[in-house]
Amino acid sequence: MSTENEGAAIPPEAGPRPAPPAPHPDPAVPPAPDFKPAVGAAPAAPDAPIGPPGEPAAGANLPATPTVAPPPATPPAVADASGADRPLPDAAWWPEDAGKAQDGAPGGPGAPGAPGAPWGDTPALPSDPPSSKRSGGLVAALLAAVLVAGGIGGGIGYWAADRQDSGDSTTISALGNPKADSRAPGSVSDIAGKALPSVVTIEAESSNGEGGTGTGFVYDKQGHILTNNHVVASAADNGKLTATFSNGKRYTAEVVGRAQGYDVAVIKLKNASGAKLTPLPLGDSDKVVVGDATVAIGAPFGLSGTVTTGIVSAKNRPVASSDGGGGNASYMSALQTDASINPGNSGGPLLNADGGVIGINSAIQSAGNGGGLGGETQQSGSIGLGFAIPINQARNVAQQLIRTGEPVYPVIEATVNMKDTGNGATIAGNGAGGSQAVVPGGPAAKAGLKAGDVIVKLNDTVIDSGPTLISEIWTHKPGDKVTITYKRDGKQSTTQVTLGQRKGDS
């Protein structure tokens, strides 16, 4: 509740004014309900502030001594959210409510029978009838209260319209757009309305009952769904996998293929002959520039169909993330966005202003643990640093998975240190299990690279670490030729490497 108007003075009115009644103790304000990750019933709406009763029409003759009805034996009651009656607290007239009437004015807290008057008190009314100036001022003040309090606009609008027969009439027009149902092409609501029917909430459960919730989107009319590997990994081996559309229709699914290193997976709906499959259009992530608008859709903390907006904050951001399961990390040269992304958004689309998919939301930087979205059971929240796999890369991986069921990675066949950062990617002294760090006859060896060389650039991209080198290499395809700049014994040199390939995640 806004408090910016609290304590504002109310202009004095002409004529005698009775002493204000003693205030009732302020009622206790109930604490806000805790937000729960799981989807549940919406909390009951708080009681709306009670609108003021009507005044006598301007110019009406008032009796010199008003007749006052006997006070009620108990305070008036108002129904709470549960339907039970409770005494009406003084706080129903909010202190900052610009529509609160003057003490002693008709309908005000000091008026006979008004909510703020002491029970049985009968303050005298001014002998003169209220002026038309005050009548118009009260209506304007009440209109201001609509903006502050909300939820009472309908009652005040009716009350003001009913006074049009008085000497000083006021007309209140409802604000709104008669074409509100027709959203402008390219608006967020237009983009979301077209995309939501093609976005699914994925529930994955392992054979031992563990799992989580993520997101995916329709890739083609054959029922393939594109998502993250870490969303479906738990259900890959004899687990359960379901996909639920925005219309509530739920389908079982199976894993077609998954690439742990890319963090990309393709699943396919079962028995989905009756499903309306509209593939989302794919954009061109290579043409994205920093500052472009973004729209993210997903199921953060299980809240399906959530839409958030932002911009592209950076490109080619090296990100290494893990699903927390002890497996190998995933590497991506990511699109960074400040659109709100949380656990459950993983696998969902990141759209551009044309409604085309430019990335797959995959990870966030968390202020709490510095981790990503992996595992979907971590309750880390968005701090405006989200990362998405560029769709051009994800599309190549998806096509490979649909064709063969296994990923193919471009490699230089050299082992680099993964913990050194800032000065480049250093080729290690030894490979796994004591093998040579530079595979004899491999792409790196053919290009003349040796153990101890520090790779500082790949094409025009600066390399500051091992993860950066891997994520940049994986934006290419096997057979691509890349230029590598490296340092050896303090001397900088360049060489050209033709990328080799590795199949599978083993």
Give catalytic status of residue 224 as yes or no: no
Instruction: List Cβ neighbours of 260 (8 Å cut-off, separation of 6 or more).
Output: 229, 233, 327, 328, 330, 407, 505
Would you give the DSSP letter of residue 252?
E
117 close to 111: Cβ distance less than 8 angstroms: yes
Q: State which amino acid sits at residue 393.
A: Q
Instruction: List Cβ neighbours of 20 (8 Å cut-off, separation of 6 or more).
Output: 103, 104, 109, 110
Q: Can you tell me which residue has the tokens 């009472």?
A: 152
Give helix 153-161 / helix 132-149 axis angle, nearest 10°. 160
Output the CA torsion sign for 333, 337, 343, 348.
negative
Give catalytic status of residue 263 as yes or no: yes
Q: Which candidate in 234, 330, 346, 382 is catalytic?
A: 346
Closest by Cα among 466, 457, 465, 467 to 497: 457
Which burial class, exposed, middle or buried, applies to 113 when counting CB atoms under 10 A from its CB (0-12, 13-18, 19+)? middle
Chain centroid to Cα 139, Å, comes to 39
228 close to 234: Cβ distance less than 8 angstroms: no
Q: Which candidate in 97, 135, 198, 230 is catalytic?
A: 230
Q: Which candidate in 263, 323, 338, 453 is catalytic?
A: 263
Closest by Cα among 157, 121, 152, 66 to 109: 121
Would you give the DSSP letter of residue 430?
B
C-alpha 303/C-alpha 476 separation (Å) is 35
Give catalytic status of residue 230 as yes or no: yes
Helices and strands counted in the chain (H then E): 7, 21
Query: Would you name the residues annotated as active-site residues?
Result: 230, 263, 346
